[in-house]
Homo-oligomer: A and B are copies of this chain.
Amino acid sequence: MQNERKINSAEVIAVGTEMLLGDLVDTNTAWISGRLAALGVGIYRHTTVGDNKERIVAAMREASARSDLVITTGGLGPTSDDLTNECLALLSGREMVEYGEARRHVDEMFARFGRKPTPSNYKQALFPEGTRLIPNPLGTALGALLEVDGTLFATFPGVPSEMKNMFEETLEPLVRARSDGAIVSRTLWFAGIGESALAERVQDLLDAQDPTVAPLAGQGKVRLRITARAATPEQAAQKMEPVEKEILGRLGKYYFGEDDETLEGAVGRLLKKQNAILALAESCTGGLLAKRLTDMPGSSAFFAEGLVTYSNEAKERLLGVPRETLVEHGAVSGPVARAMAEGARKGAGADYGLSVTGVAGPDGGTEEKFVGLVYIGLSDAEETFAEKLDLSAWARSRAAIRERSANRAFDLLRRRLQKHLQEQNKT
Tell me if A99 counts as interface (CB < 8 A to partner B): no
Mostly, the A contact residues are mixed
Asked if residues B291 and A288 are in contact (CB atoms below 8 Å), the reply is yes
* Stretch of A23-31, A85-93, A170-178 lying at the B interface: A23-31
> In the complex, what residues of B have CB within 8 A of residue A165's CB?
396
Taken together as a complex, chains A and B put the C-alpha atoms of A80 and B273 apart, in Å, by 41
Residues of chain B within 8 A (CB-CB) of A24 are 30, 216
Tell me, rounded to whole Å, the shortest Cβ–Cβ distance linking A213 to chain B.
10
Per a CB cutoff under 8 Å, which of B36, B294, B314, B363 touches A348? B314
Q: Decide: B310 and A294 in contact? CB cutoff 8 A.
A: yes
**Contact among B17, B34, B303, B311 for A21, CB-based, below 8 A:** B34
CB within 8 A of A45: which of B22, B59, B121, B317?
Answer: B59
Most buried by B among A24, A30, A33, A287: A287
Q: Chain A: how many interface residues by the 8 Å CB criterion?
A: 105
B308 close to A306 (CB less than 8 A): yes
**Contact A304 to B297, CB < 8 A, known contacts A59-B45, A121-B196, A203-B120:** no
Segment with Cβ contacts to B, from A47-55, A247-255, A380-388: A47-55
This chain: copies in complex: 2
A270 adjacent to chain B (CB < 8 Å): no
Q: A290 to B294, Cβ gap below 8 A?
A: no
Tell whether, in the assembled complex, residue A290 and residue B297 are in contact, meaning their CB atoms are under 8 Å apart: no
Please name all residues of chain B whose beta carbon is closer than 8 Å to the beta carbon of A327 when the two chains form the complex. Answer: none
The interface centre, meaning the residue of A291, A295, A308, A362 with most chain B CB atoms within 10 A of its CB, is A308
A307 interface residue (CB < 8 Å to B): yes
Complexed CA–CA distance, A348 and B26 (Å): 40
- Identify 14 residue pairs between A and B in the complex whose beta-carbon atoms are under 8 Å apart, listed by A's number: A22-B33, A24-B216, A25-B25, A45-B59, A81-B214, A285-B294, A287-B291, A287-B293, A294-B308, A295-B398, A298-B363, A304-B313, A307-B318, A317-B347
Residues of chain A whose beta carbon lies under 8 Å from any beta carbon of chain B: 14, 17-27, 29-37, 43-51, 55, 59, 78-81, 112-113, 115, 118, 120-121, 138, 161, 165, 185, 187, 194, 196-197, 199-200, 203, 206-207, 214-216, 223, 225, 227, 280, 282, 284-291, 293-295, 297-300, 303-311, 313-314, 317-318, 347-348, 360-363, 393-394, 396-400, 402
The 10 A-B pairs with the shortest beta carbon distances in the complex, nearest first, are A286-B294, A22-B34, A287-B290, A22-B33, A306-B308, A46-B48, A287-B287, A287-B291, A305-B314, A291-B291
